[in-house]
């Protein structure tokens, strides 16, 4: 079956791309060949006055080049060829002797947008599904089909770098404002408007585009000196953002600047060369694996033969503190459900509703929703000091104080006011779900949904079935988590679940290293260089030292000495040093802003920041202690697959994506090497480093997590 079909409508060739049996259009080799052949045959067709290019998919224009093809590329020369062929195809579009107009509805990304850029006029729908951009650097590559050349020429250097270097995708309204598309229309008239534009262009009309970047753009970008300044600034910002761990944005910057200096032809060649080098890097391979793992997780319910989830239309949230209101606000914003909050007194409920509303205000501010949508969503939020409004809820999430008795009592109250099929989810981070469920009449309807703070921003959700949980309850929790925009992993009901279990030893080790005389910010900055978004001590300040202490107590009780909390943390707690929320932790915070290390903490801990172990040793201790625990927990079945474990760490606390996750990183280091190094660390620093049995066994069998 052909992917491309076309028909002639009154002198306008209307070409439609619809890759058979594929959920989205991609530009794989076969499609490219068809496209080249179609353009070649129309070039010489005298009846064709102009061409309109559309997608036949319902909500997708083109998702880009076929990423599956990259995985099969084995060397830089082959990858360079792929890029050069993509460029040739789009040159054909650009050089088509009659006007080419694209009508864009749905995702128009990567190679898809590069095709649109090669066309002569772009009409896009104003629908939220229409997302336009060049996300390539997020896959560790660069726009390799002319995107690094054509976008800066269309929208100006600064706007193009802003898109390309961050791998940004914009909604069509913003894309229109930036000049990435020429016209914005409702979906129902896209085809007609595109054909009209093609007809007008065939009659000689040409769009008049404003100078990209305006007057300042002209001053800054219209001469080599100005451009060099823009490039230097971009380079500096990239170095700050990536710490040199991600080569793709630097290469993309190089491709853009080279093209502006040496012209389009040479620019394209350089772009293809750099694409070739990037596509076979380990970083790109890891990022592509994450892309596919994310897609697999979207369909995986964590159980065999998953039953249909219950469709949640009404959500009850018990507890209107920071977590409860974050859950409520995010549920309204993302899943667009009716949310009823409940807390013990009305003042708390009012505060919770205000915080929940902030999630919506933020979306309005960032123009993610319109004023009208904002008002409509706010109307979905309500609350009270009783359980009124809970009767018809399909799902109730509790986010009350982290205490078994309190949670059990809430479960009993909720059971009294809801129907038999209502799912009760606990947002506990430490308490076993089966213990909470014991107190209820319907333990099979109880499950854990462990969100991370702040809920609106943190992308992971751990779903934890208890011993008696019904499969339908699992699928309902997973499906609702996805509707809330989360990446969901289903994990075992075991202390700390997955994320806190592997995070615990890492944070604890960081605190021990402070006691050995290393400066707090030195430890954090080392781990940021290694690829984490924030260091361990900043992270614990964010989470709350009281919260971390509670989790650490649970892990210590469950797993013994290797989780023994670092001495000194209890002292910090006693003096009210709870982290960011208290204005002081390892760092000081003034009006919510981090203001450097709170040096008085050293005194409180009895530490002297005057040396301590070397950087390489610190790094090894922090990373290896986490990997050891991750391997142990994975072997216990805390996660179903290594993929879940790695995605949990990447999305849960920002394990460096370019390292692929802790289990993939353990594979890269090799179990034998890990065992050897951990034994050495155990000799010097204590038994907490002793390699787990699981790791020893892997080493003996030369086994890996991934094939």
Q: What secondary structure does DSSP assign to 152-180, as a single string?
A: HHHH-HHHHHHHHHHT-EEEHHHHHHHTS
Instruction: Name which of 146 and 324 has its Cβ closer to ligand 3H9.
Output: 146
Residue among 427, 439, 414 nearest 321 (CA) = 427
536 binds ligand 3H9 (CB under 6 A): no
Instruction: Name which of 85 and 183 has its Cβ closer to ligand 3H9.
Output: 85
Question: Taking the complex as a whole, how short is the minimal distance between the CB of residue 272 and ligand 3H9, in angstroms?
Answer: 8
Q: Which residues contact 564 (CB under 8 A, 6 or more apart)?
A: 508, 556, 688
Contacting residue, 3, 49, 53, 114, with ligand 3H9 by CB under 6 A: 114
Q: What are the structure tokens assigned to 224, written together?
A: 């080599």
The answer to whether the CB of 179 falls within 8 A of the CB of 132 is: no
Total residue count of the chain as it appears in this document: 707
Instruction: Name which of 293 and 607 has its Cβ closer to ligand 3H9.
Output: 293
Contacting residue, 47, 295, 571, 600, with ligand 3H9 by CB under 6 A: 295
Instruction: Name which of 265 and 298 has its Cβ closer to ligand 3H9.
Output: 298
Specify the 3-state DSSP secondary structure of 227. Answer: helix
The answer to whether the CB of 303 falls within 8 A of the CB of 474 is: yes
First to last CA, the chain: 34
Which residue's C-beta sits nearest to ligand 3H9? 110
267 binds ligand 3H9 (CB under 6 A): no
284 binds ligand 3H9 (CB under 6 A): no
Per CB under 6 A, contacts with ligand 3H9 among 339-368 are none
145 binds ligand 3H9 (CB under 6 A): yes
3 binds ligand 3H9 (CB under 6 A): no
- String of contacts with ligand 3H9 for each residue 31-70, x by CB under 6 A: --------------------------------xxxxxx--
Per CB under 6 A, contacts with ligand 3H9 among 546-565 are none
Q: What are the structure tokens assigned to 685, written together?
A: 């620093």
Q: What are the structure tokens assigned to 566, written together?
A: 């670092």
Active-site residue set:
462
As a whole number of angstroms, the distance between CA 359 and CA 637 comes to 35
- String of contacts with ligand 3H9 for each residue 146-185, x by CB under 6 A: -x--------------------------------------
As a whole number of angstroms, the distance between CA 449 and CA 431 comes to 12
As a whole number of angstroms, the distance between CA 60 and CA 67 comes to 16
Side-chain-facing half-sphere of 580: CA atoms under 13 Å: 14
Residue among 543, 545, 534 nearest 577 (CA) = 545
Query: Which residues share a beta bridge with 7?
Result: 14
83 binds ligand 3H9 (CB under 6 A): yes
281 binds ligand 3H9 (CB under 6 A): no
Contacting residue, 48, 50, 82, 630, with ligand 3H9 by CB under 6 A: 82
As a whole number of angstroms, the distance between CA 169 and CA 476 comes to 30
193 binds ligand 3H9 (CB under 6 A): no
As a whole number of angstroms, the distance between CA 407 and CA 90 comes to 60
Instruction: Name which of 291 and 322 has its Cβ closer to ligand 3H9.
Output: 291
Question: Taking the complex as a whole, how short is the minimal distance between the CB of residue 285 and ligand 3H9, in angstroms?
Answer: 14
Cβ count near 504 (within 10 Å):
25
73 binds ligand 3H9 (CB under 6 A): no
- Count residues binding ligand 3H9 (CB under 6 A): 26
Query: Which residues share a beta bridge with 383?
Result: 341
639 binds ligand 3H9 (CB under 6 A): no
Contacting residue, 99, 135, 156, 657, with ligand 3H9 by CB under 6 A: 135
252 binds ligand 3H9 (CB under 6 A): no
Q: Which residues bind ligand 3H9 (CB under 6 A)?
A: 23-24, 26, 63-68, 82-83, 86, 107, 109-111, 114, 135-136, 139, 143-145, 147, 295, 298
């Amino acid at each position: 079956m052909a992917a491309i079909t076309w028909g002639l409508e009154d002198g306008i060739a209307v070409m439609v791309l619809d890759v058979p049996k594929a959920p989205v259009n991609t530009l794989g080799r076969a499609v490219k060949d068809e496209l080249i052949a179609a353009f070649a045959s129309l070039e010489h067709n005298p009846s064709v006055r102009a061409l309109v290019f559309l997608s036949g998919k319902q909500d997708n224009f083109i998702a880009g080049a076929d990423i599956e093809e990259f995985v099969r590329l084995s060397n830089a020369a082959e990858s360079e060829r792929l890029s050069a062929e993509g460029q040739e195809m789009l040159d054909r579009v650009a050089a088509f002797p009659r006007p080419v107009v694209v009508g864009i509805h749905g995702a128009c990304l990567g190679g898809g947008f590069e095709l649109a850029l090669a066309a002569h006029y772009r009409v896009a729908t104003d629908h939220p599904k229409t997302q336009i951009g060049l996300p390539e650097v997020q896959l560790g590559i660069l726009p390799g089909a002319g995107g690094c050349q054509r976008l800066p020429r269309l929208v100006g250097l600064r706007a193009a770098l802003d898109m390309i270097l961050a791998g940004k995708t914009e909604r069509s309204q913003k894309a229109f404002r930036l000049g990435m598309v020429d016209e914005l229309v409702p979906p129902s008239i896209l085809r007609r408007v595109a054909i009209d534009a093609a007809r007008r262009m065939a009659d000689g009309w040409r769009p008049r585009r404003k100078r990209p970047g305006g007057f300042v753009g002209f001053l800054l970008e219209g001469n080599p000196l100005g451009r060099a300044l823009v490039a230097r600034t971009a380079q500096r910002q990239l170095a700050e953002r990536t710490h040199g761990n991600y080569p793709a944005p630097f290469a993309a910057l190089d491709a853009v600047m080279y093209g502006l200096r040496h012209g389009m032809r040479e620019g394209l060649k350089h772009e293809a060369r750099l694409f070739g080098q990037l596509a076979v890097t380990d970083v790109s391979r890891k990022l592509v694996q994450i892309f596919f793992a994310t897609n697999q997780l979207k369909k995986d319910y964590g159980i065999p033969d998953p039953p249909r989830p219950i469709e949640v239309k009404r959500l009850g949230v018990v507890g209107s503190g920071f977590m409860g209101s974050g859950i409520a606000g995010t549920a309204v914003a993302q899943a667009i459900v009716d949310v009823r909050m409940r807390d013990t007194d009305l003042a708390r409920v009012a505060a919770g509703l205000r915080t929940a509303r902030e999630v919506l205000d933020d979306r309005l501010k960032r123009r993610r929703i319109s004023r009208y949508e904002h008002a409509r969503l706010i109307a979905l939020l309500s609350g009270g000091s009783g359980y009124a409004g809970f009767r018809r809820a399909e799902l109730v999430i509790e986010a009350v104080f982290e205490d078994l008795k309190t949670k059990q009592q809430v479960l009993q109250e909720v059971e009294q006011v809801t129907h038999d099929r209502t799912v009760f989810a606990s947002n506990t981070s430490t308490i076993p779900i089966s213990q909470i469920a014991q107190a209820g009449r319907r333990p099979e309807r109880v499950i854990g949904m462990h969100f991370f703070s702040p809920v609106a921003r943190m992308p992971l959700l751990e779903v934890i079935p208890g011993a008696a949980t019904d499969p339908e309850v699992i699928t309902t929790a997973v499906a609702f988590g996805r509707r809330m925009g989360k990446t969901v992993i289903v994990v075992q009901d075991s202390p700390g679940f997955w994320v806190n279990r592997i995070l615990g030893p890492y944070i604890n080790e960081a605190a021990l290293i402070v006691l050995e005389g290393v400066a707090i910010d030195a430890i954090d900055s080392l781990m940021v260089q290694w690829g984490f978004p924030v260091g361990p001590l900043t992270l614990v300040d964010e989470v709350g030292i009281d919260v971390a202490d509670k989790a650490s107590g649970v892990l210590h009780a469950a797993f013994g000495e290797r989780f023994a909390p670092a001495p000194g943390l209890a002292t910090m707690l006693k003096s009210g040093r709870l982290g960011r929320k208290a204005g002081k932790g390892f760092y000081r915070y003034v009006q919510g802003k981090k203001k450097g290390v709170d040096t008085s903490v050293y005194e409180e801990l009895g530490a002297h920041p005057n040396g301590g172990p070397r950087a390489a040793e610190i790094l090894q201790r922090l990373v290896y202690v986490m990997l050891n625990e991750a391997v142990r927990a994975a072997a216990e079945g805390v996660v179903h697959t290594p993929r879940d474990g790695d995605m949990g760490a990447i999305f849960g606390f920002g394990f460096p994506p370019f390292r692929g996750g802790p289990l993939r990183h353990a594979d890269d280091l090799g179990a034998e090497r890990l065992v050897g190094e951990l034994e050495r660390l155990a000799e010097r620093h204590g038994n907490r480093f002793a390699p787990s049995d699981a790791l020893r066994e892997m080493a003996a069998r030369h086994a890996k997590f991934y094939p």
